[in-house]
Amino acid sequence: MNSNFASMGKKSSSSASGSRRSLIAKRTACNRPPVPKPAPWLVFQYGNDKKYHAFYNPCEPNNKTCTKFIRELSGNIYWQKPCHQGWLVILDLDQADCFMWNPVSLKSVKLPNLLQWVMNYYFIDCVLNLPMSNNVSRSTVYFLLKHQLTSEILLLYSQPGAKQWRSMCLDEYYEDLNNCSVRCLHYLKGKLYVFCRSLWQLEIELKHGRHYNDQTLSIRRFQVKGCPVLQHAAGSTCSLKSYQVESFDDIFQVNISYSIKNLNKPGAPATVVQVQRLDLSLMAWVEVKSLGDDVLFIGGENNASCSAADMALKRGCVFYTAPEDKSLNIFEPEDDGITVIFPFSKLPTPWFSGDWIMIPTLTRRTGGRKRTENLLGGDGKEGDCEITQLAEKVNKTCLGDSYVEFTTVYSMDCQFLGVSESFMKRFRYDIILQCPGWGGLVYQIGPRLVFQIENQ
Give dist(CA 185, CA 201) in Å, integer: 10
Q: Which domain holds residue 197?
A: 76-223
Does residue 390 carry a pLDDT above 70? no
Residue 326 resides in a domain: no
Does residue 443 carry a pLDDT above 80? no
Do the beta carbons of residue 200 and residue 212 sit within 8 Å? no
Do the beta carbons of residue 41 and residue 355 sit within 8 Å? no
Residue 109 resides in a domain: yes
Residue 140 resides in a domain: yes
Give dist(CA 242, CA 240) in Å, integer: 7
The string of DSSP letters for 129-193 reads E--TT--GGG-EEEEEEEETTT--EEEEEE-TT-SS-EEEE-GGGTTTSTT--EEEEEEETTEEE
Our CA dihedral for 169, 172, 174, 177, rounded to 10 degrees, sits at: 150
Per-residue pLDDT tens digits for 134-158: 778 888 999 999 999 988 899 999 9
Beta bridge partners of 66: 55, 386
Residue 164 resides in a domain: yes
- Angstrom CA distances, 335 to 24, 274, 341, stand at 44, 12, 18
Residue 136 resides in a domain: yes
| Total structural domains within the chain | 1
**How many CA atoms, within 13 angstroms, populate the side-chain half-sphere of residue 423?**
13
Residue 15 resides in a domain: no
Our CA dihedral for 100, 102, 107, 110, rounded to 10 degrees, sits at: 0
Q: Which residues contact 211 (CB under 8 A, 6 or more apart)?
A: none
Residue 146 resides in a domain: yes
Q: How far apart are the first and last CA of the chain?
A: 81
Per-residue pLDDT tens digits for 158-198: 999 899 999 999 988 877 665 568 889 999 888 999 998 87
Q: Tell me if residue 211 falls in helix, strand or coil.
A: coil
Our CA dihedral for 204, 209, 214, 215, rounded to 10 degrees, sits at: 0
Q: What angle do CA 234, 236, 237 make, to 5 degrees?
A: 130
Residue 177 resides in a domain: yes
pLDDT of 207: 76
pLDDT of 96: 95
